[in-house]
Amino acid sequence: MSNSALVVITDDRSTEDAKALSQALHDGWPIGSPPVIRIASHDECKSTPPAPGTARLLLATGSSGARQVRFITNCIDQAREDGAPVLVVGEITNPNRPDLVDVPAVAAATEPATIAAVLAGMLDRQSEIRSLRTQAAATARVVDNVQEEMTKIDEELQAAGIVQRNFLPDQLPRIGSIDVGALWRPTSYVSGDYYDVRRVDDTTIGVLLVDAAGHGVPSALMTMIIARAFDWAQAEHPHRPELVMKTLNNELCFQQAGITRFATGVYALIDCTDGTMTYCSAGHPPPLLLDRSVLRPLPNEQAGGLLGVFPEQTFEPMTYPLIPGETLLLHSDGFEQAFPLPDADPNEMTMPTNAYLEVFKSLSDLKDTDEMVKRISGAIDARRGSLHPCDDLTLLCVHRLGEAATLRRAA
């Protein structure tokens, strides 16, 4: 306490009162050695501000004019900036500064012994307060550094999202009676889902959907491997979906580098003249066929295992017709968690349900795949918990128009 300093700030009309109070504080200091006390007028403090850390005792008992109020307000601001304790004797009235209500103050008639006790307590805590301020400043620097790193990561993830979107098809091919629409919704910046729809020849399109395990950056990196491998595989085996899937599997196995990560997938070749589908599945939810309000899974007994686990894995092709008016739906497994039940509590919001099947059935009255995607997107936006999706969502709608609809579109 012997190193403490206190400046009593007063106006010219209260100098004698300030001297008497200073002496009383010195004589009645309750604990340890009293601080070094000096008296300073408003003008003196204006020309020579107190040293940083010096405690201030502001006497607001004299003139209450605007000049004094402004000066005391400035002294308080300066003390706050210096991290110094400040105590006001009297009352400050400044309607433009509601924050001054928090400034410690005592009434003008307060006994010097009480003022001394208050000041002694404030000065006694100064070392602890300075330590806390130092810690707070260090924490603020850490927070700033973390915020800067988070901003960089955010920018990098945004860039990664743009790059990933560039791997998706810009336009979906439409041949003959086959109309295709796609919904692709990552949980955040990037997705573990990847799809491609491309023309194989003048009458055939290939439709691929792959869902890498998990979501976020690790899964998105897997989709980059898959996208590159699909280019090779489709060019090498344009009419052999089983060999396309085998190539994807082998590439993922080769790229694992000792860390096992897997994906599910389905690839279908569709003849746009007669609707014949030849497809292969790798641990993926079976494709769904929608006809009016009937939704049924395609045969999937010959589905192969997961992509990226066993290099020797083989995939058997399956065949099924897509007749006019029917819609083929290929979806990622995120839809099982996309629509929580109406009575589900917060702990059950991420539980898998079959509610998505009813949403898919609602597409039966639509013949345009863009409208189908729009309806599904609206249903996702309207569900509970839509701001915090559990998994990436991807849906491919492949609709075969009826003969009359084909003629209308051709016209």
On the question of pLDDT at 146 being above 50, the answer is yes
Residue 231 banded pLDDT, cuts 50, 70, 90: very high
- Whether residue 71 has pLDDT greater than 80: no
pLDDT of amino acid 2: 46
- Residue 94 is predicted with a pLDDT of 72
pTM of the model: 0.69
Residue 78 is predicted with a pLDDT of 83
Please compute the mean of the pLDDT values over residues 73-88 and round it to a whole number: 85
Residue 72 confidence (pLDDT): 76
| Radius of gyration of the chain, Cα coordinates, nearest whole angstrom | 37
Q: With helix as H, strand as E and coil as C, how does the chain read?
A: CCCCEEEEEECHHHHHHHHHHHHHHHHCCCCCCCCEEEEEEHHHHHHCCCCCCCEEEEEECCCCCHHHHHHHHHHHHHHHHHCCCEEEEECCCCCCCHHHHHCCEECCCCCHHHHHHHHHHHHHCHHHHHHHHHHHHHHHHHHHHHHHHHHHHHHHHHHHHHHHHHHCCCCCCCECCEEEEEEEECCCCCCCEEEEEEEEECCEEEEEEEEECCCCHHHHHHHHHHHHHHHHHHHHCCCCHHHHHHHHHHHHHHCCCCCCCCEEEEEEEEECCCCEEEEEEEECCCCEEEECCEEEECCCCCCECCECCCCCCCCCCEEEECCCCCEEEEECHHHHHCCCCCCCCHHHCCCCCCHHHHHHHHHHHCCCHHHHHHHHHHHHHHCCCCCCCCCCEEEEEEEECCHHHHHHHHC
Q: What is the pLDDT of residues 261-294, one digit of tens each?
A: 899 999 999 999 999 999 999 999 999 999 887 9
Residue 249 has pLDDT above 90, yes or no: yes
Q: 6: Cβ–Cβ under 8 A, 6 or more apart, which residues? A: 25, 35, 36, 37, 38, 54, 55, 56, 57, 119, 123
pLDDT at 123 over 50: yes
- pLDDT at position 194 is 96
Confidence of residue 3 (pLDDT cuts 50, 70, 90): low
pLDDT surpasses 70 at 237: yes
Q: Could you read off the pLDDT of 365-406 as tens digits, one per residue?
A: 998 999 999 999 999 988 765 566 678 999 999 999 985 444
Domains and CATH numbers, the chain: 5-124 (3.40.50.2300), 168-410 (3.60.40.10)
